[in-house]
C-alpha cells in the first residue's frame, strides 16, 4: 500500500477547506498563490489525518500469522486496506498440513468486513512461511506517518491545485489577482487619487512597464500595511481601471499605460489576421505535410510537430506580412521561446540583437499569435522576405535574442514583387543580400505603397484563395524555364495578398483541377 498516493487520489475540496484557507489568509494578512494554499491544505489535512489515525490505531498491532494474540487485542489488517478489528475468541487450529497453530475470531470495526454478521477467523502462531509473516510496523501509526506533503505535491500537485482553484474561484469572499488570493474584506482602499498618481508615474517613464512595487514607491505607498498587502490591493485597483494594462510574463506583474502601447499591439494589423478556411487535411501528401511542419506557420494548429519542452532556440523563415510589419509568428515552437502568461493578453519584454547587442522593446500578442517590435532590427540589417531568423532564450527571462546568419553582401537574383495597377506581378532582379535565406521563399518588395494597395484591393474584393492562386502562379512560373512554382514559393506569395497558413493553400492546389502537380512539389496552371 502507498498511503500518500491513495490519500491524494481521494482528495476533494469542501466548504470547510475554503473556510480554513480564508481564515489562514486573514491571519497572515498576506496574499498567497494557489500552489501555496494547496500545500497548506495538504499539510493541514495530513495533520488531521495523522491525529485521527493515531487515535484509531492506538494500542493496535499489525496482524502477523506467525504471532500470538490475546482476546481483546486490537489488530490492523493490511490486506483490508488497514482496517481494524478486535480479537473476540481463540481456538486450536485443525489442519495436519500446517502443524500446530491457533485460530482467532475477529470482529471488525467496519461491519461490512464481518462475514454475514459473524466474526471472521484468522490463523495465528503459524510456523509455516506466509506472505503476511513479519509484517512491518509495530503499530498502525507507521502507515499514518507515511503521509508526506512533499510526496503528495510531487505526485499529485497539479491535480490537487486544479481542484482547489475551481473551488476558490467559486468563493465570493476571495479575490484572485496577479496569480494570488486574498479576502475581499481586507483589501486596502485604492482611490482615484492613487490611480491618477500611478498614471503620472507611468507616463513619466514612457508608459512602462513597471512593477507594482516601483509604482507604490513613487506614489508614497498606500499606508503602513505590509508591502505584500499593498501590492495586492494596488494590483486589484489598477486592474479595474482601463488606463492600465498588466503586461508581465508568467510569475511577474508589470504595468503599462494602455494609451501608450503601440497601435499594432492594441489592434492586430489586417495583414496578420487569418480568417479560418475549412479544408480536408487528408488531401495533403506526406511531402506537403513535411513542408507545412518546416514552415511552422502560427496558424498551422494541426501540423504534427514533435517539439521538446525544453526548447531553447528555433528558426523562422520570414514571410511578407511579418517582414512588412516588424513582427514574428507566435507558433508552436516560438511560443516556447518567447515569454507568455496564461491570463495576460499582451506581454512586454526585450529583444536583444544577436549581431551587436542592441535592445528593442517588444510585445507578445497571445490571442492573435504574433510578436511585435522587430521593424528596426529588420531595417538595420536589410533582411529580405525569406530570410532565416533565429530566436533563443536569453539568460534573463525577460529577454529573447533575435539573430540571423550574416555574411558579406553579395549580389543575388531574387523575385521582386512588381505591382501593375491592381494586378500582382513578379520579376527577377539583382539585389545585394547579406543574410542566409530560403531560395524558395525569398521575395523583394520596393514599392511598398503599391504592394500595400494590392493587399487592400484583395481584401476589398474578397478575393478567394483560388482566385489568388490563379493570379500568382503564372507570373511566378514565367521566371523559370520550366514554368512551374514550388509549394513554398506559392505559400510565400499568397501571403502578400492574404494571410493564410500552408494547409488550406496546399489543399486547394491538390483538390482544384485548375492546378496541376508536375512532381517534386512543383505546380502550374492546368491549362498552360
pLDDT number for residue 442: 95
**Cell triple for 220:** 508614497
Same domain, 203 and 332: no
Q: What 3-state class would DSSP assign to 214? A: helix
The pLDDT of residue 77? 87
What mean pLDDT comes out for the span 153-176? 84
Q: Are 107 and 114 in contact (CB under 8 A)?
A: yes
Question: Among 47-61, 80-94, 157-171, 446-460, which stretch is predicted with the lowest mean pLDDT?
Answer: 47-61
- Average of per-residue pLDDT across 39-60: 80
Q: Report the percentage of the chain scoring pLDDT > 70.
A: 93
Confidence of residue 139 (pLDDT cuts 50, 70, 90): very low
Tell me how far CA of residue 410 lies from CA of 394, 421, 432, 435, 445, in angstroms: 31, 32, 5, 9, 18
pLDDT at 78 (0 to 100): 82
Pairs from 411-415 (Cβ < 8 Å, separation ≥ 24):
414/384, 414/442, 414/443, 414/444, 415/442, 415/443, 415/444, 415/476, 415/479, 415/489
Question: How many domains does one find in the chain?
Answer: 5
Residue 301 has pLDDT above 90, yes or no: no
Task: Give per-residue pLDDT as tens, 305-352.
Answer: 677 777 889 999 999 999 999 999 999 889 899 988 667 889 999 999
Tell me, what's the pLDDT at 176? 86
- What is the CA angle 119-121-124, rounded to 5? 140
Residues near 191 by beta carbon (within 8 Å), at least 6 away in sequence: none
Q: Which of 526, 420, 421 is nearest to 470 (CA)?
A: 526
Q: How far apart are CA 508 and CA 260, in angstroms?
A: 42
- pLDDT given for residue 511 in this prediction: 94
- 399-403/346-353 β-pairing: parallel
Cell readout for 327 is: 513582427
Residue 343 lies in a domain: yes
**Last residue of some domain: 361, 379, 407?**
407
pLDDT at 138: 45
Shared-domain flag, residues 198 and 247: yes
- Same domain for 330 and 202: no
Does residue 212 register a pLDDT over 60? yes
Residue 324 resides in a domain: yes
Which pLDDT belongs to residue 379? Answer: 95
Same domain as 45, residue 151? yes
Mean pLDDT of 215-219: 95
- d(C-alpha 300, C-alpha 40), whole Å: 42
Backbone angles phi, psi at 451, to 5 degrees: -70, -40
| DSSP category for residue 423 | E
Q: Are residues 39 and 162 in the same domain?
A: yes
Residue 72 belongs to a domain:
yes
Residue 182 within any structural domain of the chain: no
pTM of the model: 0.74
Residues 6 or more apart whose CB falls under 8 angstroms from that of 321 comprise: 269, 271, 272, 327, 495, 496, 499
Within-domain flag for 292: no
Looking up residue 361, the CATH number of its domain turns out to be 2.40.330.10
Q: What is the mean pLDDT of residues 390-414?
A: 91
> Model confidence at 1, in pLDDT bands (50, 70, 90)?
very low
pLDDT of the residue at 140: 46
Q: Are 397 and 349 in contact (CB under 8 A)?
A: no
Residue 78 shares a structural domain with residue 122: yes
Burial class of 510 by CB neighbour count within 10 A (0 to 12, 13 to 18, 19+): middle
Q: CATH number of the domain at 103, please.
A: 2.30.30
Kindly state whether residues 390 and 501 are assigned to the same domain: no
Give start and end residues of each alpha helix (H) in 225-366. 227-239, 263-266, 286-295, 320-325
Whether 298 is covered by a domain: the verdict is: no
Average pLDDT, the chain: 88
Q: Which residue, among 424, 426, 476, has the nearest Cα to 451 in the 3D structure?
A: 424
Residues 239, 208 share a domain: yes
The answer to whether residues 42 and 118 belong to one domain is no
Instruction: Say yes or no: 15 and 164 in one domain.
Output: yes
C-alpha cell at 70: 490475546
271 falls within a domain: no
Task: Encode pLDDT of 346-369 as tens digits.
Answer: 999 999 999 999 999 999 998 899
**Residue 337 and residue 424 in one domain:** no
Q: In what order do the strands lie in the sheet with 388-393?
A: 313-317, 388-393, 399-403, 346-353, 359-365, 370-372, 327-329
Tell me what pLDDT residue 130 has: 59
Neighbours of 158 (CB within 10 A): 11
The Cα–Cα gap between 449 and 164 comes to 55
CATH of the domain at 247: 1.10.10
Shared-domain flag, residues 403 and 416: no
The pLDDT assigned to 6 comes to: 55
Confidence band of 137 (pLDDT split at 50, 70, 90): very low
Starting from the edge strand earliest in sequence, which strands make up the sheet with 102-108, in order?
A: 60-62, 74-77, 83-92, 102-108, 120-124
Domain of 432? 410-525
* 63-78 pLDDT, tens digit each: 999 899 999 999 988 8
**Domain-located, residue 335:** yes
Task: Render pLDDT for 222-272 as a digit per residue (tens, 0 to 9).
Answer: 988 888 889 989 999 999 999 999 998 877 889 999 999 999 999 999 999
Amino acid at each position: 500500500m502507498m498511503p500518500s498516493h491513495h490519500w491524494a487520489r481521494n482528495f476533494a475540496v469542501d466548504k470547510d477547506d475554503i473556510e480554513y484557507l480564508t481564515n489562514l489568509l486573514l491571519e497572515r494578512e498576506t496574499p498567497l498563490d494557489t500552489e501555496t494554499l494547496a500545500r497548506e491544505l495538504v499539510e493541514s489535512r495530513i495533520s488531521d489525518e495523522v491525529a485521527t489515525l493515531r487515535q484509531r490505531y492506538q494500542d493496535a498491532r499489525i496482524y502477523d500469522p506467525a504471532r500470538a494474540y490475546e482476546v481483546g487485542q486490537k489488530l490492523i489488517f493490511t490486506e483490508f486496506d488497514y482496517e481494524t478489528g478486535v480479537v473476540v475468541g481463540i481456538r486450536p487450529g485443525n489442519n495436519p498440513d500446517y502443524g500446530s497453530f491457533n485460530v482467532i475470531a475477529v470482529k471488525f470495526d467496519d461491519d461490512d468486513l464481518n462475514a454475514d454478521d459473524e466474526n471472521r477467523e484468522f490463523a495465528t502462531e503459524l510456523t509455516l512461511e506466509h506472505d503476511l509473516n513479519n509484517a512491518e510496523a509495530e503499530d498502525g501509526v507507521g502507515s499514518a506517518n507515511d503521509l508526506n506533503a512533499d510526496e503528495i505535491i510531487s505526485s499529485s500537485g497539479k491535480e490537487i491545485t486544479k481542484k482547489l482553484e475551481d473551488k476558490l474561484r467559486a468563493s465570493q469572499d476571495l479575490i484572485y489577482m496577479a496569480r494570488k488570493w486574498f479576502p475581499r474584506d481586507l483589501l486596502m482602499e485604492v482611490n482615484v487619487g492613487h490611480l491618477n498618481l500611478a498614471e503620472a508615474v507611468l507616463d513619466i517613464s514612457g508608459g512602462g512597464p513597471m512593477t507594482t512595487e516601483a509604482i507604490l514607491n513613487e506614489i508614497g505607498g498606500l499606508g503602513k500595511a505590509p508591502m505584500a498587502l499593498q501590492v495586492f490591493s494596488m494590483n486589484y485597483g489598477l486592474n479595474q481601471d482601463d488606463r492600465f494594462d498588466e503586461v508581465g510574463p508568467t510569475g511577474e506583474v508589470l504595468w503599462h499605460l494602455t494609451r501608450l502601447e503601440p497601435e499594432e499591439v492594441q489592434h492586430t494589423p489586417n495583414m496578420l489576421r487569418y480568417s479560418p478556411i475549412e479544408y480536408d487535411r487528408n488531401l495533403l501528401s506526406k511531402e506537403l505535410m513535411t513542408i507545412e511542419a518546416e514552415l511552422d506557420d502560427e496558424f498551422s494548429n494541426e501540423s504534427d510537430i514533435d517539439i521538446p519542452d525544453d526548447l531553447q532556440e528555433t528558426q523562422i523563415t520570414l514571410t511578407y506580412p511579418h517582414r512588412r510589419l516588424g513582427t514574428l509568428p507566435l507558433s508552436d515552437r516560438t511560443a516556447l521561446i518567447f515569454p507568455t502568461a496564461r491570463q495576460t493578453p499582451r506581454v512586454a519584454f526585450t529583444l536583444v540583437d544577436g549581431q551587436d547587442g542592441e535592445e528593442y522593446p517588444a510585445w507578445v500578442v497571445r490571442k492573435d499569435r504574433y510578436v511585435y517590435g522587430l521593424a528596426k532590427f529588420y531595417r538595420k540589417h536589410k533582411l529580405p522576405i525569406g530570410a532565416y531568423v533565429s530566436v533563443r532564450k536569453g539568460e534573463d527571462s525577460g529577454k529573447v535574442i533575435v539573430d540571423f546568419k550574416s555574411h558579406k553582401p553579395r549580389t543575388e537574383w531574387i523575385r521582386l514583387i512588381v505591382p501593375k495597377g491592381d494586378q500582382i506581378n513578379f520579376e527577377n532582379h539583382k539585389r545585394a543580400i547579406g543574410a542566409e535565406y530560403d531560395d524558395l521563399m525569398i521575395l523583394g518588395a520596393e514599392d511598398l505603397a503599391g504592394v500595400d494597395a494590392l493587399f487592400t484591393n484583395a481584401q476589398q474584393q474578397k478575393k478567394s484563395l483560388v482566385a489568388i492562386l490563379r493570379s500568382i502562379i503564372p507570373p511566378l512560373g514565367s521566371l523559370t524555364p520550366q514554368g512551374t512554382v514550388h509549394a513554398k514559393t506559392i505559400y510565400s506569395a499568397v501571403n502578400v495578398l492574404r494571410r493564410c497558413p500552408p494547409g488550406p493553400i496546399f489543399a486547394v492546389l491538390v483538390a482544384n483541377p485548375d492546378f496541376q502537380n508536375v512532381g517534386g512539389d512543383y505546380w502550374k496552371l492546368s491549362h498552360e
